[in-house]
């Protein structure tokens, strides 16, 4: 399966091809089930969700999603399920802050941040828009957050994956997260310890499909 299996949508105002037609998305899913955006609650029932962009507790200070949900393309969701199982051996698990992000939300981010270190420009789009990026941290067996180097969405050098100094506890947790995600084909974005791209991201189209359309079939 490759993005060229389907007729590409016409370029948008930024010259970028983005799937906005719900019918086209479902046609893709019908022909290639791997393209489906899977609800992580269904794929990994014991995963914790803390979807910040469905609240005002985020870097933009406004709710960008109408509901708190997390979706990934099917193979990425399966890989994340394996991460969760591997972490359970250590008595910990994942909390998800964000996963699939509609392209229109990426445009909103850029309008306010306009720093390519922390926001994908609309002429490129985000791997979140492809359903192949996930923002995560660790929780203990009771669901309580473990200490990490910074809070989520900290747009400073302290959030870089190799930043020093950090506490020994935060370093151990960061290392466990980075190593376990890497073992299942997730590549860390170095400026954000929490951000991981599924290695096959380039196989999937950019999408601007609302969450509400992902649970209708």
Please give the pLDDT value at position 133: 98
Q: Sorting pLDDT into bands at 50, 70 and 90, what band is 152?
A: very high
Residue 143 lies in a domain: yes
Q: 145: helix, coil or strand?
A: strand
Per the domain annotation, does 214 fall within a domain?
Answer: no
Choose the catalytic residue: 34, 164, 192, 203.
192
User: Does residue 176 lie in a domain region?
Assistant: yes
> Does residue 13 form part of some domain?
no
Position 145 scores a pLDDT of 97
Check the annotation: does 195 bind a ligand.
yes
* Paired sense of beta strands 92-98 and 48-49, if any: parallel
Find the DSSP H helices in 17-73: 22-31, 40-43
Output the pTM of the full model.
0.93
The pLDDT tens digits for 1-21 are 444 445 567 788 898 999 999
Domain annotation covers residue 25: no
Residues whose CB is less than 8 angstroms from the CB of residue 85 and which lie 6 or more positions away in sequence, other chains included:
none
Q: Is position 20 within any domain?
A: no
Rounded mean pLDDT of 59-66? Answer: 94
Distance of CA 128 to the CA centre of its chain: 5
CA distance 41 to 77: 10
Say yes or no to pLDDT of 135 above 60: yes
Determine the average pLDDT of the residues in 64-84: 97
Is residue 160 marked as binding? no
The domain containing residue 116 runs over which residues? 39-202
CATH number of domain containing 144: 3.30.1380.10
Is 207 inside any structural domain? no
- Give Dmax over CA atoms of the chain in angstroms: 51
Residue 186 has pLDDT above 90, yes or no: yes
Is 96 inside any structural domain? Answer: yes
SS3 category, 197: strand
Is 203 considered catalytic here?
no
Distance CA(133)–CA(194), nearest Å, equals 10
Number of domains in the chain: 1
What's the mean pLDDT when you consider all of the chain? Answer: 94
């Amino acid at each position: 399966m490759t993005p060229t299996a389907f007729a590409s949508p016409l370029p948008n105002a930024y010259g970028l091809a983005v799937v906005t037609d719900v019918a086209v998305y479902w046609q893709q899913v019908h022909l290639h089930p791997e393209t489906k955006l899977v609800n992580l609650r269904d794929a990994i029932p014991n995963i914790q969700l803390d979807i910040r962009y469905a609240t005002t507790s985020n870097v933009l200070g406004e709710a960008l999603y109408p509901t708190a949900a997390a979706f990934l393309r099917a193979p990425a969701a399966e890989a994340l399920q394996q991460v969760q199982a591997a972490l359970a051996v250590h008595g910990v698990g994942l909390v998800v802050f964000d996963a699939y992000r509609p392209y229109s939300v990426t445009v909103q981010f850029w309008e306010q941040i306009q720093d390519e270190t922390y926001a994908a420009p609309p002429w490129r789009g985000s791997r979140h828009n492809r359903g192949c990026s996930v923002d995560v941290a660790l929780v203990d067996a009771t669901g309580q957050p473990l200490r990490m180097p910074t809070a989520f969405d900290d747009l400073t050098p302290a959030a870089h994956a190799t930043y020093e100094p950090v506490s020994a506890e935060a370093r151990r947790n960061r290392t466990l997260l980075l190593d376990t995600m890497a073992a299942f084909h997730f590549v860390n974005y170095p400026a954000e310890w929490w951000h991981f791209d599924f290695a096959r991201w380039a196989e999937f189209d950019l999408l601007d499909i609302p969450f509400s359309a992902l649970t209708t079939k």
